[in-house]
Structure 1
Amino acid sequence: MTWRSPLALVREALRGQRAREKDLRNFASNLPYEGLEKAKQPNRFFPGNAIKTTKYTLLLFIPMNLFEQFHRLANIYFVGLAILNFVPVVNAFQPEVALIPICVIMTLTALKDAWEDFRRYQSDRKRNNTPCFIYSRREKQFSERSWKEVQVGDFVKVFSNEIVPADLLLLDTSDPNGVCHIETSNLDGETNLKPRRTVSGVCVSDPEFEPESFNSVVVCERPNNNLNHFKCYVEKPDKEKVGAGIESLLLRGCTVKNTDHAVGFVVYAGQETKSMLNNNGPRYKRSKLERKLNIDVIFCVILLLSMCFVGSVGHFLWLEEFPDVPPYLVPDSNGHLDSPGLSGFYMFFTMIILLQILIPISLYVSIELVKIGQIFFITNDADLYDEETDSRVQCKALKITEDLGQIEYIFSDKTGTLTENKMVFRRCSIIGTEYPHKENAIRLAVLEEPESGEEVIFNQRPQPSQTGWSLHAEDTNPEEMQHHHDNRRKSRVTGSAPSDVAFSSPLPSWFQSRLQMADLLGVSDKHINFGPK
């Protein structure tokens, strides 16, 4: 290793910063410079492919964790009381004893946070050591390396059902048309395959792509987090420029499908890949319970200060009533006694220590122990075990496990994630009125698939079917028709349903037209017979 002066290192860092901040980046192949020292590498200013998603380091763990724990107002409250106990004038307990509860709570929380961050470290290490194939000029072939060894300017070969290790500009595929299909479910949740095409006119696979023959320069934009946008062009040795876009970019985290292999040129690596730029990193999360407790702590502190103020004022007034010094008041070593005003001031802080139980510290000890128990039971729940993948559920956010039991609404599309691709109507509620689909419920009870087709379930008694449709004018009178017409008009204003009807599919147009005609004539639903269309 060559020794370099600190000034040269600073100058190199500034040059690298300027190179990374340029709007356009020029990438050359690393193959002609393989084996040379890093200072002679053309792409040395750009980061490697190793990623880091951990929150803490060994040196900064204690200060960062303490800063996060003091987001909980109760911790500030109890630490303040422990410090107040070290003041000899106002202390009420042994100072060392007052430190034990808050130290136990903060130690348990720190251990839990350390374990959570250690699991992130293990995940990063596993991902960084995932094998991939990088072309080596010395070996004249693609050799197996780890993801963390990938550099900008390398040629990477990805086989079918493998995950792309970095953002690659697609240059060659096993498909004769230069098409490669990828699955982006790890990025956007979509399982449908997306086609990607090689950059046209840059590489000629005859019979196989040779990375050493690639003498062009790749010019692309600065990395950004837009997964659907990419601008780039390849400048050939004869100065001809060939443009490329997102249709030629393989994103890190995607899976190659229906393609034997694909070869790409690394344009973004590590933290500069689009997937990592969309990852904001671990952040401090607070559950609803913790936010609610913070508000309660504020009110309790206000109540505590009010009680202490009343106690200090009462102590002052009580001492003022004595004409002489009471015999039970012990002077200090100099024979000096505090004035009633100063004694009342000291009594204010003494009352804070005496009434600190107003905010029970045992509550937070119990909460931490309950969270640990919740994590244990969630992780070992047999109903959440997947036999196909031999995996169980993982609690990645150990601070908000109790929020799982407080979910009120689930917003989901119809991709089948929650429904297993089985959309069966069972019941709905409209303005407090429940409309069940009894036939579907019976089918589900006997584990039978519901029949397809349009069904209409009426809660009133069925009418005898007739050919066509008719209005039984003899069963109605004008007053009844007018009364029902007013009720239907009122129901449209208030939004209430005129009858309890549940539909498993939209009503046919002929059915809707006949309902509208009956509504215009002011005839009740029970006086209409619907026959076949």
Structure 2
Amino acid sequence: MERDAGSPSAAVAKMEPRVAPVTAVEPRVAFLNDKEANQQLITSKQYARNVMVTSKYTAVSFVPKCIFEFFRVVANVYFLLISVLQLATPWSPTNRFTTAGPLLFVLLVTMVKQGSEDFKRHQADEKQNRRSCRIINAGGQVEMIAWQDLQVGQLVCVENHEELPADVVVLATSEEEGRCFIETSNLDGETNLKRRIAVNPTAQLVAASWSRRNASRVWYLPFIKEADGADDFVVNFFTFLILYNNLVPISLYVSLDIIKVLQANRITSDVNMVYEGTHAVARTSELNEELGQVEYVFSDKTGTLTCNVMEFRKCSIGGISYGFGTTEIGRAVAALASDKPHATSGATKQTPSPAKAKINPLGFNGEGSGSAVKLDINSTDDVREIVSPAGPVHPPTQSEEGSDPKDAQVHFDPNIHFDDPGLLRTLYAGGKQGELIHEFLMLLSICHTVIPETDAKTSAVTYRASSPDEEALVKAAKCLGYNFVAPAPLMKVEISRKQSLLPPHMKTQHEQEPTAKCYTIVNVNEFNSTRKRMSVVAVDEETHEYILYCKGADNMMLERAASALNDGDAAAHAKLVGHLKNYAREGLRTLVLGRRVLSTEEYKEYNEAYIEASTSLEDREAKLDACAELVERDMQLLGVTAIEDKLQDGVPSAIFDLAQAGIKVWVLTGDREETAINIGHACRLINDKMQLLYVNAERIDALIAQLDALHETPEIQRLIRGDQVAENLAMVCDGKALVHIFPSRDARVKMSAEAVERVQLLSEKLLDIARVCKALIACRVSPSQKAEIVQLVRKGGPCGKTQPITLAIGDGANDVSMIQTAHVGVGICGKEGVQAVNASDYAVAQFRFLTRLVLLHGRCNYKRVCKVIRYSFYKNIALVISLFVFNFFNGQSGAPLFESFVMAGWNFFLALPIIVIGVFDQDIPEVVVLKFPQLYRRGPVDSDLNMRVFARTIVNSVGHALICFFGCYAGTLLASQGLYVLGTLFYTALLGTMKLKVVLLALNWNKYHFAVMAFSVGLFVFFLLVYPRFTFMSYDMFGVPAHMIRLQRYWTLLLLCPVAAMTIDFTATAAQQQFRPSAEDILRERFRSNKSKRVGDSVAPMSVPLESSSPSIDRLFLAGQSIDEDNKSDSKDSKDCKPTTFVVTAQPPSPSRRPGSSSNLPLYDSFKASLPHPEARSSFAFNGLDEPSNRHASGDLPAQEARDHARAQLPAQSPTKSHQLLGSPACSGRSPGTLVHVAPRQHQVSP
């Protein structure tokens, strides 16, 4: 009866207690209410105790397990080896505890951290195990005991809405037939209710009473025997190995652990990521920096991009569509198409053979445009277009305006906007169409697993459903007069009519009363991700017919429909398919409904197979699925339901910002192709300027031809070889094609070597093509296919490059595999349980918070961690270089320059300031970072921590160490001071240099910076004053600080050496910011001098994407005033305006922020050449953007001609006069965007 260690609680209603695995199905024996006998079974390990344990350690195992995990890190093993060499050999030039002391400290910190975390787990386990439950003891009395005391064989009493304390078998319930409904969200995240029925021998076992109350020093020099060369080499090797062991910063791991935990706390406490009281949660702190390096985002649709709040909007019955109005997604698609009316008019080009499709399937010509071909999904001989414009296709407009929903519903629900009274009129009029509508609504009323609950006080009925879709359909049926009031097995539906829509002859008193219709549900074929449908077999209590009611995905239902008996049925079927496509184009979720009347003999055959399958102990689900196939065929299609799931707030803007940050967003959904594409348009994932590449072949030969045709296109090949991304390409994949690329594990085992090689080749081609596309939409994909797609991208990076960092975000149990496969998993706290959140690394309440999590927290944490790593190596390399250089002055004896414990304190004196930087450093204000998503692009290319940057750090560290060493050496050349006086003097100077380096690294100072800086300096001073008095530790430092501080040269060198060393850094930084500033430098300077102004008033966001071939994000827009071609027809005054001003501006931001604006301002590349000479360049110039000399600017002139042309137009004026605001009267109205004045550095920067 022991529950899984990782499960919060057992919420299942099956009492098969956990037991050691057996090789065959054997009966297990327990004794009913026999405590002693059952205790013997537990003692003999036949059954487990009902105790939940999620903690990692016990009091006995904590120390050994924690030490074992600590030394699994290679760096810790290295320091352990150094410590052993120091402690166990005479080769150490330093004190024996120089390395062992810090290592022990780090170990203790780690153990404290692990112990505190595990203590919290122990508390949670204790709280869970001490929960109470009711049992019926041997005397028949109800007794309260703790969950952990529950034994196998005891009778447990559970009331409604209570949590089960263990795995149980249902013996009896208060409901008919001994049934109950359970929820397993605590185990698997599924919130749908599952039906369980008591075992037959005890199904009626309910008592009447239950129904009622429910070493010493050597002071001489001995004779030293001369050692041979081999021994001398070994001793020297280990001596210098120990001396230079600080080359690897021992404090780095513990510093990063502390920093990451505090970073995670900042994410959790971010008040700007709170929705309806739900905060963001950082479930791990190990991936904070990877959030700043994401290249691919894989997103689910339902509940992730959408609200997962379903609303019945339209339906199609008998070939007639009912319901008016346009959905939110439909309006967004219509607005998009109205802006570009020609976008939907792409001509389809037929070609006689697929061979021509392989020549140029994209249709690229010399001018970069052309039509394309598409391979038919069923035949390689019939070639159609595989590339089409991405413009959305409009659904047909309704010929009749929608009415007030109150007039179209029997029981009005303000949350349902179905507004077509024609459906009820046709229903009441009768005839064939009326009968179809009746069966349609009846199916909605009984083909489900919804449970109605009545409030005893208000008599209000609420529905508990397994999914929001089912709840929406049941509520829709109720609004239309078919009120489901009694649950299975005897389902009762009350049919009411709307008097105002009844024909005159039906308006009688009798007809005003609801009529009841009863059905007995005898079999249920449940929904799963493989079947994509559910069905029930019901017995009509009036006619005693066996009727199969079924609803499911269109691709599953259409292939199981009966053949058309006449032209009318064929026409209705064709219209139904057309309505399916139209609803999908509006972004509506569709289900196809069907029914079939079973004969008595057919039902008996099916029922026998159903009973056998449901009682099977092996492959039960597979057998039940095969059993359902016996009757789910030849169905009469009744119609289609269309449910709207609105987009979450801020989704289009979030996806736009992610794209601007250089992140590829791939949407993986189970919806049909048209729905997925139009939702892609609505959320701005794709646009009408894009060409869609389709991969949707059902047959393997057609799929091979389809991928070959795309992969061999010259334009695709050029992009693949250049590792570039085409801004105008997007891919649409279908799950039926991905079946061949990602076969199941069982299918892969049975495949031949040739077939495995073919699958590998197909996946490589798919990845090559997808990688050059701006976006990808995968439709009709299963949960396993989602994970396969993520795995393909994660492991399929180009040769010679690091594998891309992937992020997956979802909200449901079907997204867990995808979330766990990606490097970073993000769960949305939605309405489909908590399984996605439990499997994730970070949790947010809304998709729009992903931009803040990634673009802000991810970018900042990446830059902070990179700074910490660089500084940690910088300070330790400087220390080791000083020891290395000193050995050239002491005959390579291996003697240290510093006293052992002074050297061991190096990391302690310098740890806190860099930790504060790692937590609070912010190079640019938050709002600016979010307004300029292109700033994120430095992370994925690892521009802050690569070999080039690390080499600069090493050179910088070596330079500072040499300056300090030789500065102190020259300053004390004629002094007759002791070794440790000179060593401590140099140590202090080098420490001061390290402190100044921290000052240079910190970009925004707060109270924590000042506090830790003062504390670390005070700590060092305190150490120098106190440590020498502890002579039992070392006599070497006794009197050294007191003597040293009386030396004038000490204070002189303490001032000169750090300043001389850091002058190089300060000068280099100032020169770089003056002549080759980065985008961060420009924005930092801009908003540092305008703190009182709002960011939106100063700089508009960047919105034009950058070429993927350039890793630089320094692409803000510079433009001369006279370049705007849209303003050629301005007034005379504007014509006199000279191009004397350069501005930093941006094209319009996301449409959700500032719709309708436009700008033709060129990129910075067009005008960089026309800027003045470097010495006169503005502080807003950008670096890293010099293109090859043979590359043209964005206009028609080459770069050199553009430079000469721009210089010729610049008037010979002083900088003060030539740099003016574009907001002057003579130039008013010239630019549609917000402009930033660029002035020389000696002048004030003004907006």
Bucket of the pairwise TM-score, normalised by the shorter protein: 0.5 to 0.7
Question: 1:433 maps to what in 2?
Answer: none
Q: Once the 2 structures are TM-superposed, how far is the Cα of residue 56 of structure 1 from its aligned partner?
A: 1.1
Question: 2:307 maps to what in 1?
Answer: 420
> Would the aligned equivalents of 2:135 and 2:145 in 1 still touch at CA under 8 Å?
yes
Q: Once the 2 structures are TM-superposed, how far is the Cα of residue 381 of structure 1 from its aligned partner?
A: 3.9
TM-score, normalization: structure 2?
0.24
SS of 1:173's partner is: coil
Question: 1:462 maps to what in 2?
Answer: 341
> Would the aligned equivalents of 2:54 and 2:122 in 1 still touch at CA under 8 Å?
yes
Q: Once the 2 structures are TM-superposed, how far is the Cα of residue 134 of structure 1 from its aligned partner?
A: 0.9
Question: 2:234 maps to what in 1?
Answer: 345
In the alignment, the residues of structure 2 paired with residue 334 and residue 167 of structure 1 have an alpha-carbon distance, to the nearest angstrom, of 79
SS of 1:106's partner is: helix
Confirm whether residue 367 of structure 1 aligns to residue 256 of structure 2: yes
> Would the aligned equivalents of 1:131 and 1:146 in 2 still touch at CA under 8 Å?
yes
Question: 2:704 maps to what in 1?
Answer: none
Confirm whether residue 185 of structure 1 aligns to residue 185 of structure 2: yes
Question: 2:156 maps to what in 1?
Answer: 156
Deviates more, 1:412-421 or 1:148-157: 412-421
Question: 1:27 maps to what in 2?
Answer: 29
Question: 1:501 maps to what in 2?
Answer: 391
Cα 1:410–1:121, aligned 2, differ >3 Å: closer, same or farther? farther
In the alignment, the residues of structure 1 paired with residue 80 and residue 44 of structure 2 have an alpha-carbon distance, to the nearest angstrom, of 51
Q: Once the 2 structures are TM-superposed, how far is the Cα of residue 89 of structure 1 from its aligned partner?
A: 3.6
Which amino acid letter does the alignment assign opposite residue 350 of structure 1?
A: T
SS of 1:191's partner is: strand
Q: Once the 2 structures are TM-superposed, how far is the Cα of residue 199 of structure 1 from its aligned partner?
A: 1.1
Q: Once the 2 structures are TM-superposed, how far is the Cα of residue 68 of structure 1 from its aligned partner?
A: 0.8
Confirm whether residue 146 of structure 1 aligns to residue 146 of structure 2: yes
Q: Once the 2 structures are TM-superposed, how far is the Cα of residue 355 of structure 1 from its aligned partner?
A: 2.3
Cα 1:463–1:126, aligned 2, differ >3 Å: closer, same or farther? closer
In the alignment, the residues of structure 1 paired with residue 364 and residue 228 of structure 2 have an alpha-carbon distance, to the nearest angstrom, of 89
Q: Once the 2 structures are TM-superposed, how far is the Cα of residue 159 of structure 1 from its aligned partner?
A: 1.6
Confirm whether residue 488 of structure 1 aligns to residue 367 of structure 2: no
Cα 1:159–1:360, aligned 2, differ >3 Å: closer, same or farther? same
Question: 1:136 maps to what in 2?
Answer: 137
Confirm whether residue 93 of structure 1 aligns to residue 94 of structure 2: yes
Q: Once the 2 structures are TM-superposed, how far is the Cα of residue 204 of structure 1 from its aligned partner?
A: 2.1
Q: Once the 2 structures are TM-superposed, how far is the Cα of residue 75 of structure 1 from its aligned partner?
A: 0.4
Cα 1:418–1:90, aligned 2, differ >3 Å: closer, same or farther? farther
* Residues 30-87 of structure 1, C-alpha deviations (whole Å, 9 max, x = no match): 33x3578955999984222112222111122111111111121110111111221225
Confirm whether residue 83 of structure 1 aligns to residue 109 of structure 2: no
Which amino acid letter does the alignment assign opposite residue 501 of structure 1?
A: G
1:372-521 correspondence to structure 2 within 5 Å: 372-382=261-271, 397=284, 409=296, 411=298, 413-416=300-303, 419-421=306-308, 449-451=328-330, 455=334, 457-458=336-337, 461-462=340-341, 487-489=370-372, 499=389, 501-502=391-392
Which amino acid letter does the alignment assign opposite residue 112 of structure 1?
A: K
In the alignment, the residues of structure 2 paired with residue 36 and residue 111 of structure 1 have an alpha-carbon distance, to the nearest angstrom, of 43
Which amino acid letter does the alignment assign opposite residue 421 of structure 1?
A: N
Q: Once the 2 structures are TM-superposed, how far is the Cα of residue 150 of structure 1 from its aligned partner?
A: 1.0
Q: Once the 2 structures are TM-superposed, how far is the Cα of residue 173 of structure 1 from its aligned partner?
A: 1.2
Q: Once the 2 structures are TM-superposed, how far is the Cα of residue 461 of structure 1 from its aligned partner?
A: 4.9
In the alignment, the residues of structure 1 paired with residue 343 and residue 289 of structure 2 have an alpha-carbon distance, to the nearest angstrom, of 55
Which amino acid letter does the alignment assign opposite residue 168 of structure 1?
A: V
In the alignment, the residues of structure 2 paired with residue 56 and residue 411 of structure 1 have an alpha-carbon distance, to the nearest angstrom, of 36
Which amino acid letter does the alignment assign opposite residue 241 of structure 2?
A: I
> Would the aligned equivalents of 1:27 and 1:153 in 2 still touch at CA under 8 Å?
no
1:54-65 correspondence to structure 2 within 5 Å: 54-65=55-66
In the alignment, the residues of structure 1 paired with residue 344 and residue 64 of structure 2 have an alpha-carbon distance, to the nearest angstrom, of 80
In the alignment, the residues of structure 2 paired with residue 49 and residue 336 of structure 1 have an alpha-carbon distance, to the nearest angstrom, of 71
| Count of aligned pairs between the two proteins | 337
* Residues 245-273 of structure 1, C-alpha deviations (whole Å, 9 max, x = no match): xxxxxxxxxxxxxxx98xxxxxxxxxxxx
Q: Once the 2 structures are TM-superposed, how far is the Cα of residue 457 of structure 1 from its aligned partner?
A: 3.6
Cα 1:359–1:18, aligned 2, differ >3 Å: closer, same or farther? closer
In the alignment, the residues of structure 2 paired with residue 152 and residue 45 of structure 1 have an alpha-carbon distance, to the nearest angstrom, of 10
> Would the aligned equivalents of 2:171 and 2:199 in 1 still touch at CA under 8 Å?
yes
Give the helix-richer structure, 1 or 2.
2
Cα 1:413–1:101, aligned 2, differ >3 Å: closer, same or farther? same
In the alignment, the residues of structure 2 paired with residue 349 and residue 489 of structure 1 have an alpha-carbon distance, to the nearest angstrom, of 70
- Sequence identity (%): 29
SS of 2:92's partner is: coil
> Would the aligned equivalents of 1:49 and 1:148 in 2 still touch at CA under 8 Å?
yes
> Would the aligned equivalents of 2:51 and 2:147 in 1 still touch at CA under 8 Å?
yes
Cα 1:487–1:168, aligned 2, differ >3 Å: closer, same or farther? same
Confirm whether residue 71 of structure 1 aligns to residue 72 of structure 2: yes
SS of 2:170's partner is: strand
In the alignment, the residues of structure 1 paired with residue 343 and residue 203 of structure 2 have an alpha-carbon distance, to the nearest angstrom, of 76
Question: 2:246 maps to what in 1?
Answer: 357
* Residues 300-331 of structure 1, C-alpha deviations (whole Å, 9 max, x = no match): xxxxxxxxxxxxxxxxxxxxxxxxxxxxxxx9
SS of 2:182's partner is: strand
Q: Once the 2 structures are TM-superposed, how far is the Cα of residue 125 of structure 1 from its aligned partner?
A: 0.7
Which amino acid letter does the alignment assign opposite residue 129 of structure 1?
A: R
Cα 1:182–1:206, aligned 2, differ >3 Å: closer, same or farther? closer
SS of 2:171's partner is: strand
Cα 1:487–1:103, aligned 2, differ >3 Å: closer, same or farther? same
Which amino acid letter does the alignment assign opposite residue 167 of structure 2?
A: D
* Residues 253-303 of structure 1, C-alpha deviations (whole Å, 9 max, x = no match): xxxxxxx98xxxxxxxxxxxxxxxxxxxxxxxxxxxxxxxxxxxxxxxxxx
> Would the aligned equivalents of 1:27 and 1:43 in 2 still touch at CA under 8 Å?
no
In the alignment, the residues of structure 2 paired with residue 464 and residue 96 of structure 1 have an alpha-carbon distance, to the nearest angstrom, of 75
Cα 1:349–1:34, aligned 2, differ >3 Å: closer, same or farther? closer
Q: Once the 2 structures are TM-superposed, how far is the Cα of residue 397 of structure 1 from its aligned partner?
A: 4.7
Question: 2:48 maps to what in 1?
Answer: 47
Q: Once the 2 structures are TM-superposed, how far is the Cα of residue 90 of structure 1 from its aligned partner?
A: 1.9
* Residues 227-247 of structure 1, C-alpha deviations (whole Å, 9 max, x = no match): xxxxxxxxxxxxxxxxxxxxx
SS of 1:100's partner is: helix
Which amino acid letter does the alignment assign opposite residue 189 of structure 1?
A: G
In the alignment, the residues of structure 1 paired with residue 265 and residue 20 of structure 2 have an alpha-carbon distance, to the nearest angstrom, of 49
In the alignment, the residues of structure 2 paired with residue 43 and residue 377 of structure 1 have an alpha-carbon distance, to the nearest angstrom, of 50
In the alignment, the residues of structure 2 paired with residue 395 and residue 454 of structure 1 have an alpha-carbon distance, to the nearest angstrom, of 36
1:200-211 correspondence to structure 2 within 5 Å: 200-205=200-205, 208=208
In the alignment, the residues of structure 1 paired with residue 28 and residue 269 of structure 2 have an alpha-carbon distance, to the nearest angstrom, of 51
Cα 1:27–1:85, aligned 2, differ >3 Å: closer, same or farther? same
> Would the aligned equivalents of 1:130 and 1:146 in 2 still touch at CA under 8 Å?
yes
Question: 2:1031 maps to what in 1?
Answer: none
> Would the aligned equivalents of 1:132 and 1:156 in 2 still touch at CA under 8 Å?
yes
Q: Once the 2 structures are TM-superposed, how far is the Cα of residue 486 of structure 1 from its aligned partner?
A: 9.7
Cα 1:151–1:187, aligned 2, differ >3 Å: closer, same or farther? same
> Would the aligned equivalents of 2:135 and 2:144 in 1 still touch at CA under 8 Å?
yes
Cα 1:452–1:340, aligned 2, differ >3 Å: closer, same or farther? same
Cα 1:118–1:22, aligned 2, differ >3 Å: closer, same or farther? farther
In the alignment, the residues of structure 1 paired with residue 276 and residue 89 of structure 2 have an alpha-carbon distance, to the nearest angstrom, of 63
Which amino acid letter does the alignment assign opposite residue 340 of structure 1?
A: G
Which amino acid letter does the alignment assign opposite residue 336 of structure 1?
A: K
In the alignment, the residues of structure 2 paired with residue 18 and residue 192 of structure 1 have an alpha-carbon distance, to the nearest angstrom, of 30
Unaligned 5+ runs, structure 2: 1-18, 215-219, 311-325, 348-362, 376-382, 396-579, 586-672, 674-1247
Q: Once the 2 structures are TM-superposed, how far is the Cα of residue 151 of structure 1 from its aligned partner?
A: 0.7
Cα 1:145–1:417, aligned 2, differ >3 Å: closer, same or farther? farther
Q: Once the 2 structures are TM-superposed, how far is the Cα of residue 337 of structure 1 from its aligned partner?
A: 2.0
> Would the aligned equivalents of 1:459 and 1:500 in 2 still touch at CA under 8 Å?
no
SS of 1:193's partner is: strand
SS of 2:158's partner is: strand
In the alignment, the residues of structure 2 paired with residue 119 and residue 464 of structure 1 have an alpha-carbon distance, to the nearest angstrom, of 59
In the alignment, the residues of structure 1 paired with residue 105 and residue 78 of structure 2 have an alpha-carbon distance, to the nearest angstrom, of 15
Question: 1:314 maps to what in 2?
Answer: none
In the alignment, the residues of structure 1 paired with residue 369 and residue 254 of structure 2 have an alpha-carbon distance, to the nearest angstrom, of 63
> Would the aligned equivalents of 1:28 and 1:43 in 2 still touch at CA under 8 Å?
no
In the alignment, the residues of structure 2 paired with residue 114 and residue 482 of structure 1 have an alpha-carbon distance, to the nearest angstrom, of 64
1:174-323 correspondence to structure 2 within 5 Å: 174-205=174-205, 208=208
